[in-house]
Each structure stands twice: as structure tokens, then as C-alpha cells.
Structure 1
Amino acid sequence: MRAKAVILGCNYYIGLSALRCLGQFGIHTVAVDYSEERAYGALSKYTSERLIAPHYKQDKDAFIAFLKDYGRMQQQPPVLIPCHDSYVEVIDEHLEELRELYLIPQTEPGLYTKAMNKETLHRMAQQHGVNVPETLSPLEDDFLERVESELGYPCIVKPTDSPSFVALFRRKIFKVNNRMELQEALSKVQEAGLEVIVQRIIPGFDDHMYTFDAYLNQDSKVTHWVTCQKYRQFPINFGASVYTGQKYVPELRRIGGDFLERIGWKGFAEIEFKKDARTGAFYLIEVNVRMTNLNELLRQVGINFPYVTYQELTGTPVEPYAVTKDMNRVFWYGYEDMLAIRDYIRTKQLTILQVLRSLLRPKAYAIWSWRDPKPGLAFASMTLSKMWGKLRRR
């Protein structure tokens, strides 16, 4: 009997894509979430089993106990695939005990957290010669004066712990244009008890953002990789991918792959880079340690990362492969891209003609699939209901 794949977090399209990527091979998929409400990903026809677990933050001990109880009931250890940063944090905290019952690629406790934490990530990157944006901590001497002289305005206030920051403020960063705005932003995060860093903004439009997506085997060697170029994000300028294309950039394999191998990474990782519009140098921005928003695009251009993960951990690794040519295909999250397009046009960063031209490319859809329509229909229903509720409140 084949091992099951336990997918954590199915109220977003990352979990949905993981279910599809594995279910199409007949792998028994287990969709786990803390509520049935809005968990549209679990409605996929590729879901074999659906479970409701205690909330991973509100009742962490009960959540871990739930996972361990489920693992003990299985004939073979399931492959554990988290699809949200908060699930990764919990797994990392209990990595050794969960590895007794589940197949998890990472073996070093704390490494997931180091890569997710912006401050420790940047220290690791600098130790290995990887460019990172100039950064200051509010705890440093002469902090305000150094922001003006070393970083300049505008700059960004960035959380060291992104999941907690995003959950509270519904954004990834604060962009500040002067000392007063910086002090206001710092006051907000201090009141919330969160730690932040302040960073120089690397020049360049959103299409200067790139990703290096890779899988590293249990010897910490890159076996599969592909690179992509972002075109639009939401929120604009400092958000998540909503329109991103596969783009072969071999330099990112050297920078990103060497870095991941040197720190002893195992399993999937996605490094986000920004290319300096003035110098052409690539700067490491962050590392996504859970499965990526771009899963469906990457599958369509040749690398099914959830399947690569499953096969290696169950003893039948997939042959190494890299996408080394441009495939002219883009990932599209239509709902948020429409909001992004509105804001790009309002701020005159894009024209209507530029947007229309871009939309002609073949697409890998974030949610919709003709072969698996139920999640897309459920998401459309939820979105329309939300919009109707806003209209009624006006």
C-alpha cells in the first residue's frame, strides 16, 4: 500500500494545487484544515480524504496531538506537505517528534524557521556571499539617522516573522516615505509585539522580481529547478504573485542553488530575487519554504514539485530535471490580478494596452480547471457572496 500525502491548508489555491499535483497519480491525498468554511481546495475531485483539525495557532498542542494520532493509525508514514507558512512554523517546532510518524524532507530542526525569519535569513545569505538589500534594525545605535544616510527614503519596514505580520496588518510590509511615517510604522509593530527590520528598496518595477524554485535531495543537492519572472503582484509592488511567467535565468541557479546547498537545505524551496534596475545585480528578498503559489505553472512547464517531494521521500526519486528554455506560459490568479491591474493603472505604472497585450499568453490558472471545476465554482460563489455583502452594507 502506498503512503498517503497529508496536505495542510486547503482554504487557498496552494493546497488545491498540491492535491491536484498528487491526486492525478492516484496517490491517496488527505486534505487537512481547521474549518470547512472557505476550504474550497478540499472540494477537488483529487481529494481522497478530508479532515478537520484543531487550529494550528489557537490550540497548537491539540493540533500536534491530532497529527500524531493520525500518523499512528497509518500502515506507512504519510508524506507531510504544509501549504502555509504558519503550518511550517509549527512543524519546525515539533520536527523531531513528527518525523517519527511522517515523511518530511527537512532533517535539521530550526532551519525552516531560520530561512523564514528575514533577519536570520539575511545573515546566512551574507555569510555565503549572496546580495541582500541593505538593512537596519530599530535596536541599532543612531537608527533614525542611519536610515536617512544609509538607506534613504522611501524604504520599507519588513517583519522578521511574516505570517504573524500579515495576519494582523493584511499586508507584507509598510512602505515609509519619511521619518514621521517610519516612526508611526514602528509604533504600530511595537504595540503588536512584533519584530521588524528596515530595508532599502531595490530599484526596479515589479517585473524585476524573479523566483528560483528548486528541490534538493537528502544529500542537499539540487535535483530539479526552474526560474520565473513576476509581472504583476497584489498588493502592487510589495505583494504576492498574481501574474508570473516561467523565464529561464541560469544565473539564478548559480546564486540560489549554491546558497541552498551550502546551508544544507533539503526538500522544496523558492527564493525570491529582485534585479537591481541600475546595476543588474540580483538581491535575495525572501525564501518560501512551503509549496509555492506557482505550483500549477511549474507542473505545466515540466516540474511537479509536490510529486517530486513524494517520490523521493517514498524511495522512488524522479530523474533530475531543469527547465532550461522559455516555455511562454504564465501563472494567473485572475481575481487578485484584476485588483492589481486597477491599482497599476490608477498609479500609472501600467497602461491598459500593456495589460491587454500581456493577457494573450497561455495560462496556468491558480484555481480554475475544466477537469476539476468544483473548487473554482465554490471560490466564485464565495467571492460573489463577499462582494454582495459589501454592496449591501453601503
Structure 2
Amino acid sequence: MALLGYRVIVTRDHGGLAAVSRAVSEVWDAPKTAKEPGFFECLSEYLAERPDIGAVVPVEESYVLGLARNRAKLPPDRIYGTPSDEIVTTCLDKVAMLEVAGRAGVPSAAAQVVETLDQIFDAAARIGFPLIVRPLSSLQPIAGRKAFITQEESVLREALTEWPEGHDRLIVQRFIRGPRFNVDFAAQKGRVIRAVATQILRTDAYDGTGIDVCGKTLPMPDDLREFTARMAAALDYTGVGLIQFMVDRDRDEISFLELNPRFNGNTAVPDRAGLELCRLSIDLAEDPDREEKVFESEGGLRHAWFYGDVQGIRKSVSHGMMRRGQVPGALWQAVRDAVTADFHVIWSWRDPRPGISQFTNSLRNAFR
């Protein structure tokens, strides 16, 4: 945003990484986070005191959803760089999105919504293995995981001996083997105007769920281009977003995973691909009819997130996804990818403090 000429103000959240960036001019020490009641009342008061703030851009999911639910509390004379409230709430309803995908003709693996432990096992018997048990919200993990993947019934019964706390419903879905593909995009009234496809090579969880720590951008596959276009049209989507697919080319299977109505957590990927999503998040919110060129990245860039890779190894061991004997090989892979990557998600020689802060915060927590 700073490179676009904006004076950037951030909340001091997520360990203060953004707060220490040279691109940030000011930090708002908000008394609450979006996950706490009263945050948007605090934001409303702050904006009322700061008429110089012309645009508000939520980045993390709880802020995106919270803004959609609380927009009426905020000053109407500002630009809110996010898709419409209806689009946001629909996209973050995983059951609703399975229905949208079905209507749009976008393939999605067989799935069933369940409400009891017995229904999980009944659904597993009907759908077959391998399968994945998914929460309806990524903000509410299952036993510390974003989702639970299993290859056989005995492992499922051993892992889930009672209904997971904090969930009213879950989705049981057949798991498609193969890599995950991210498609970062911007759309204007249902038409995709920017896009880049990224094959995820590794995530911060050994079972393949979680945030990607290594990936490469590719020329857009024809089928993913078509499915992204269909989802954007079905939602009449305006704004930036991230759509994910599981792709198994050997079995000729593709399954829609989810559509996040926000920036990719690894914003550096579409930024380095030239998509201008930061600018478009504001410009499309201000004027959905503005004239914009259509651009699709040709790919060819490999990224890494070394800190996330190392933390993912630790998490995978602690959650039983990785054996301790696999750690040396995983660490060597993390180092090799960090050295050979075209760019890094957090680290930049021109702005090193966020990356340094991430490591020092980790060391501080370890010593505690």
C-alpha cells in the first residue's frame, strides 16, 4: 500500500510483524481484536476521530467476516476494501459454497454435513476412504488442525472418540490425493480480470493442510481458469479473493476446496506475479465500474517461507503427523527451498524487520 502512495496504519496484531515494517507509518493500538466483542465499536470511534483515514482494508479472516457483519456500525463515508457483505458471508459458509459450486458446474468431491459422532462414521462408510473431516469455519480447528485427513476407518475412530468441542456441524468429504492449487484473483462484476495459479509444494502441516510454505506459480491450467470464472460469475464477484482446488492429474480428479473473500495469507505471491491486488481491493470497492485491464500471470516463480516451514515441522511432530526420525530430512528440505526460492514470503533485504521480529518472537516464546 505504501508503494501506491498511501500512508499505512495497521493494528498491532499477529505479533506486531506489520507494525515494524518500514512501509507502516502508524500503529493503532486497538483495545480489542476482531475476535472479541466490541472491536467494531472501537473501530467506529477511531474512524470518527480520524477523518483523514479514507480506506479500511481487512486482511485476516476474522476481520473480513466481522466487517461484513458490522458494516452498519462504521462510518459510511469511507472505502472498505473488501467484497460485498453478501459475498463475504456466502464464501465463508462452506456448506453454502458446496451448493454454489454444484450450481456452477464446478467439481467437488462427495461430501456430507454431519452433526453427531455416529453421523461422521456413517458418512465415512458411505463416502469411502481416504476422507477429510472439515470444520465449517477455518477459525475453529479440529484438535489443533485445520482439518483431519485419514486413510482408513480405524485411524478415524481412534482420533475421534467424541464430538469435537466447539462445533455444531462438520463436513465429511472424500479426500482428493494430489497437490493443492491456489488461484489468487480479482473479479469485476463476475468477470475475472487478474489471476495467478500456484501449485502448493508443501504446507506448515505434514498432512498437507494449513498454510503453504513452499510453492511455484504456473501457467494457468485451462480447467482451473474455467472453474474460477464459473465461481466468480455465480457469485457476481467484485473484489479480490483466493480460490483453492485439490488436483489429482493421475486420476483426472479436481475438487473445489474453498473460496476466501480476502487476500491470500501469502500476499507476496500475487504481488510478485504483478496482479496489483492491493490497489484493486480499494479501487474496485470505490468504483466497481472502473475500466481495468485483464491480466493473467504466466507463472515461473518459486516462493518459500522458512520460518513457517520450521514451525510446521515442530507442529507436525507435536500433533503426531511426523515421526522424529523424519525431522532431519524435513529441515534439510526447508533449508534447500529457502536457498533456491525466487523470493521469500516474509523476508526482504529492503524491509528486514518483520522477518527478524518473527524469529525473535519465536525465540522469546521458546524461552518462556
Q: TM-score, normalised by structure 2?
A: 0.84
Aligned residue type for 1:323: E
Distance 1:79 1:264, change over 3 A: same
Deviation of 1:272 after TM superposition, in Å, equals 0.8
Cα distance in 1 for residues equivalent to 2:67 and 2:266: 22
Amino acid at match of 2:80: I
Report SS of the residue matched to 1:294: coil
Distance 2:50 2:93 in 1: 33
Q: State the percentage of identical aligned residues.
A: 21
Q: Distance in 2 between matches of 1:31 and 1:76?
A: 14
1:213 aligns with 2:184: yes
* Larger CA deviation: 312-321 vs 104-113: 312-321
> Structure 2 vs 1, CA of residues 279 and 381 (structure 1 numbering), >3 Å: closer, same or farther?
same
With the length of structure 1 as denominator, give the TM-score of the two structures: 0.79
Note closer, same or farther for the CA distance 1:52–1:126 as it changes in structure 2 (3 Å cut): same
Q: How many residues are paired up?
A: 356
Equivalent pair of 1:71/1:77 in contact (CA under 8 Å): yes
Equivalent position to 1:253, from 215, 225, 234 = 225
SS at match of 2:244: strand
What is the alpha-carbon distance in structure 2 between the residues aligned to residue 106 and residue 382 of structure 1? 30
Query: Once the two structures are superposed, what CA deviation does each residue of 1:195-235 show, in whole Å capped at 9, x if it has no partner?
Result: 2111111022xxx2111111123x33222111111111111
In structure 1, the residue matched to 2:110 is: 134
1:200 matched to 2:152? The reply is: no
Unaligned runs of 5+ in 1: 1-21, 390-394
Range with greater deviation from structure 2 (361-370 or 261-270): 361-370
In structure 2, which of residues 195, 200, 212 is the aligned counterpart of residue 241 of structure 1?
212
> C-alpha distance in 1, partners of 2:331/2:213?
17
Of 291, 299, 310, the residue aligned with 1:326 is: 299
- Which whole-Å CA distance do the structure 2 matches of 1:357 and 1:53 have between them? 39
Paired with 2:331 and 2:235, the residues of 1 have a C-alpha distance of: 44
Contact 2:65 2:88 in 1 (8 A): yes
Conserved in 2, the CA contact under 8 Å of 1:80 and 1:103?
yes
In structure 2, what is the Cα distance between the partners aligned to 1:270 and 1:262? 15
The residue that corresponds to 1:383 in the other structure is: 362
1:371 aligns with 2:342: no
Q: Could you tell me whether the CA contact under 8 Å between 2:186 and 2:239 is conserved in 1?
A: yes
8 Å Cα contact 2:307/2:359 also seen in 1: no
**In terms of mean alpha carbon deviation, does 194-203 or 178-187 score higher?**
178-187
Residue 355 of structure 1: how far off its partner (Å): 6.8
CA separation of 1:314/1:146 partners in 2, compared to 1, >3 Å: closer, same or farther? Answer: closer
Q: Which amino acid aligns with 1:282?
A: I
Equivalent-residue separation in structure 2 for 1:382 and 1:142 (angstroms)? 42
- Contact kept, 8 Å, 1:71 with 1:101, in 2: the verdict is no
> Which residue of the other structure, out of 216, 223, 227, is the alignment partner of 2:193?
223
Which residue of structure 2 aligns with residue 18 of structure 1? none
Q: Which residue of 2 aligns with 1:45?
A: 22
